[in-house]
């Protein structure tokens, strides 16, 4: 029998013995206070001031340290908001209640009542007068929390990670705050929050491989949402002028430090605006989030120092390649043969032979992206790789589109929306001719556009990647409560 199994057997015996002393799994203990609340009220008060405080407080939480010393003991109680020290003694609780400590293990969930005081060392503490075991931890908690095996525990058993890692709890508290602040920001900008379908009859809105499911009653295949874009545009056509959706989307693609098949993003659309409006809106949003999290304008992300103090840089797509790729200049940026040779010499895979614009994108993704550390809007992408974007009036070969990069990763993508139904139908058809970059033809969306779509600007922001950036998290798995994992065996 393994050591862990022996401990489980021992803890189950304690549970049986506990049943003779008190009711198992009671649900009548009333929690009236939190550790954070008591710290805010009393942390700065002196030991003498606390001696005058006779209020009885009640707390619930998990015990993660216990130090028994005969007729008295100390323990640390952890709840959602933090931790607080407990002092238990036979005199304080009575002999029978104090005996419950013999049946208590690390990880048990307890309820306590008592008055507050400070120890000789100045530690804020509850002098416990009532002690109840609310739930028994039958499995021992990990003794150490570092190394490869613990990373497995961290992702597979997030509940253990949250129990014992203040750092992880802080990351997820920040994530919750970021999502809340994003929602408030768009509501303040007079956007309406909407909901659109997560199961689509046509996989559309982005060029990505979908997850397929089947509706039995209708005997038809459906696709988990790749992006909500085409439904949100239908709402713009219907008369809503500003809409946003914080959505879960799904792409049947690989796992990496920046990719999870199920992910969260916000998409938002505004009628009678263009892509310049979007860039201004997104820059203000990110700076407001930095302020809400009390980050400095210059903050660390992994090995980088991110500077958001100045206006975000803007550079067009072609110029970014020329700037960061030695050997590519204004003379050969639109020369396919020259770019193919550049790819060969730099070991860049050309995904579509003969395609100038896709080869430019291959070079950009392989060389340029990783060099965009401070916030940078890359603008005016080729029309051929932007099937939903409006063409630039002065140059129909490029579109009014941008992507925002920070720390070498794409954070946002947006554009002035294509609202010409004939052009959109043609772009859909051209995409279908290219199996490597396919976006399905959505005839119903074309029909909707034919009723008249106002000039519109729309963008999407990857919330998971944004949270990674603002919490200094190396992997997307660190900011998802339950990331997808390969089967353990």
Tokens of 374: 């401070």
Asked if residue 149 is part of any domain, the answer here is: no
Q: Are residues 259 and 405 in the same domain?
A: yes
Q: Are residues 193 and 246 in the same domain?
A: yes
Asked if residue 462 is part of any domain, the answer here is: yes
CA pair distance 478, 249, nearest whole angstrom: 19
Asked if residue 348 is part of any domain, the answer here is: no
Q: Are residues 238 and 387 in the same domain?
A: yes
Asked if residue 342 is part of any domain, the answer here is: no
Q: How many residues does the chain have?
A: 489
CATH of the domain at 113: 2.40.50.140
Q: Are residues 105 and 189 in the same domain?
A: no
Contacts of 377 (CB under 8 A, 6+ apart): 279, 312, 313, 314, 315, 402, 403, 404
Asked if residue 28 is part of any domain, the answer here is: yes
Q: Are residues 384 and 442 in the same domain?
A: yes
User: Which residues of the chain have a pLDDT value below 50?
Assistant: 145, 147-148, 435-437
Q: Are residues 305 and 421 in the same domain?
A: yes
Q: Are residues 123 and 181 in the same domain?
A: no
Asked if residues 10 and 137 have their Cβ atoms less than 8 Å apart, the reply is: no
CA pair distance 34, 13, nearest whole angstrom: 31
What backbone phi and psi angles, to 5 degrees, belong to 74?
-115, 150
Strands 409-416 and 456-462: antiparallel
Asked if residue 456 is part of any domain, the answer here is: yes
Asked if residues 273 and 459 have their Cβ atoms less than 8 Å apart, the reply is: no
Asked if residues 117 and 47 have their Cβ atoms less than 8 Å apart, the reply is: yes
Residue 144: what pLDDT?
58
Asked if residue 63 is part of any domain, the answer here is: yes
What does the DSSP assignment read for 236-282?
HHHT-SEEEEEEEEE-----BTTB-SEEEEEEEEEET--HHHHHHHH
Dihedral (CA of 453, 457, 463, 464) sign: positive
Residue 232: what pLDDT?
98
Tokens of 148: 């490869």
Query: Please, which contacts does 39-48 make with residues 24 or more away whose CB atoms are closer than 8 Å?
Result: 39/82, 39/84, 39/124, 42/116, 42/124, 43/124, 45/118, 46/118, 47/117, 47/118, 47/122
* Residue 64: domain span: 3-135
Asked if residues 476 and 422 have their Cβ atoms less than 8 Å apart, the reply is: no
**Model's pTM, two decimal places?**
0.93
Asked if residue 347 is part of any domain, the answer here is: no
Residue 429: what pLDDT?
86
Domain boundary among 135, 152, 187: 135
Asked if residues 75 and 66 have their Cβ atoms less than 8 Å apart, the reply is: yes
Tokens of 31: 């929690």
Q: Are residues 115 and 171 in the same domain?
A: no
Q: Are residues 283 and 395 in the same domain?
A: yes
**Best CA proximity match to 468, nearest among 284, 263, 312, 307:** 263
Count how many domains the chain has.
Answer: 2
pLDDT digits (tens, 9 = 90+) for 232-276: 999 999 999 999 999 999 999 888 898 999 999 999 999 999 999
CB atoms under 10 Å from CB of 57, counted, come to 20
CATH of the domain at 405: 3.30.930.10
CA angle at residue 447 from 443 to 453, to 5 degrees?
A: 125
Q: Are residues 51 and 93 in the same domain?
A: yes
Tokens of 50: 């606390």
Tokens of 212: 């397929």
CA angle at residue 71 from 68 to 77, to 5 degrees?
A: 45
Q: Are residues 281 and 412 in the same domain?
A: yes
Cα separations in angstroms, 338 against 291, 317, 341, 354, 474? 46, 18, 5, 12, 36
CA pair distance 102, 91, nearest whole angstrom: 16
CB atoms under 10 Å from CB of 235, counted, come to 19
Q: Are residues 221 and 128 in the same domain?
A: no
Q: Which phi-psi region, left, alpha or beta, contains residue 341 (left: φ > 0; alpha: ψ -120 to 50)? A: alpha
Domain boundary among 89, 120, 135: 135
Residue 486: what pLDDT?
87
């Amino acid at each position: 029998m393994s050591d862990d199994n022996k401990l489980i057997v021992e803890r189950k015996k304690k549970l049986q013995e506990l049943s003779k002393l008190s009711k198992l799994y009671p649900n009548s203990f009333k929690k009236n206070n939190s550790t954070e609340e008591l710290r805010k009220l009393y942390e700065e008060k002196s030991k003498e001031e606390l001696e005058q405080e006779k209020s009885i407080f009640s707390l619930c939480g998990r015990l993660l340290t216990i130090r028994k010393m005969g007729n008295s003991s100390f323990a640390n109680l952890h709840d959602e908001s933090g931790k607080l020290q407990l002092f238990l003694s036979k005199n304080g609780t009575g002999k029978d209640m104090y005996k419950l400590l013999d049946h208590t293990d690390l990880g048990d969930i307890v309820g306590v009542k008592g008055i507050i005081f400070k120890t000789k060392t100045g530690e804020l503490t509850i002098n416990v007068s009532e002690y109840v075991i609310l739930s028994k931890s039958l499995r021992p908690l990990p003794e150490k929390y570092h190394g490869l095996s613990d990373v497995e525990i961290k992702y597979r058993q997030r509940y253990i990670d949250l129990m014992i890692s203040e750092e992880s709890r802080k990351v997820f508290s920040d994530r919750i705050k970021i999502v809340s602040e994003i929602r408030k920001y768009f509501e303040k900008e007079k956007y309406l929050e909407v909901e659109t379908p997560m199961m689509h009859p046509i996989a559309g809105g982005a060029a990505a491989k979908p997850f397929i499911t089947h509706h039995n009653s209708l005997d038809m295949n459906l696709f988990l949402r790749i992006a909500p874009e085409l439904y949100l545009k239908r709402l713009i056509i219907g008369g809503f002028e500003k809409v946003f959706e914080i959505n879960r989307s799904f792409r049947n693609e690989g796992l990496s430090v920046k990719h999870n098949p199920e992910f969260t993003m916000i998409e938002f659309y505004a009628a009678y605006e263009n892509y310049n409006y979007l860039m201004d809106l997104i820059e203000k949003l990110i700076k407001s989030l930095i302020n809400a999290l009390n980050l400095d304008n210059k903050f660390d992300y992994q090995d980088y120092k991110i500077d958001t103090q100045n206006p975000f840089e803007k550079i067009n797509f072609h110029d970014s390649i020329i700037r960061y790729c030695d050997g590519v200049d204004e003379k050969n940026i639109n020369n396919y043969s020259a770019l193919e040779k550049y790819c060969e010499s730099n070991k860049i895979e050309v995904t579509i032979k003969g395609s100038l614009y896709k080869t430019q994108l291959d070079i950009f993704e392989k060389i340029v992206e990783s060099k965009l550390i401070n916030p940078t809007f890359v603008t005016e992408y080729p029309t051929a790789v932007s099937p939903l974007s409006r063409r630039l009036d002065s140059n129909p070969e490029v579109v009014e589109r941008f992507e925002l990069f920070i720390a070498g990763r794409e954070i946002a993508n947006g554009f002035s929306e294509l609202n010409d139904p004939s052009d959109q139908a043609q772009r859909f058809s051209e995409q279908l001719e290219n199996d490597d970059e396919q976006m399905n033809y959505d005839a119903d969306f074309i029909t909707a556009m034919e009723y008249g779509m106002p000039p519109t600007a729309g963008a999407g922001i990857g919330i998971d990647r944004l949270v990674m950036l603002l919490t200094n998290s190396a992997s997307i798995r660190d900011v998802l409560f339950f990331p997808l994992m390969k089967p353990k065996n």
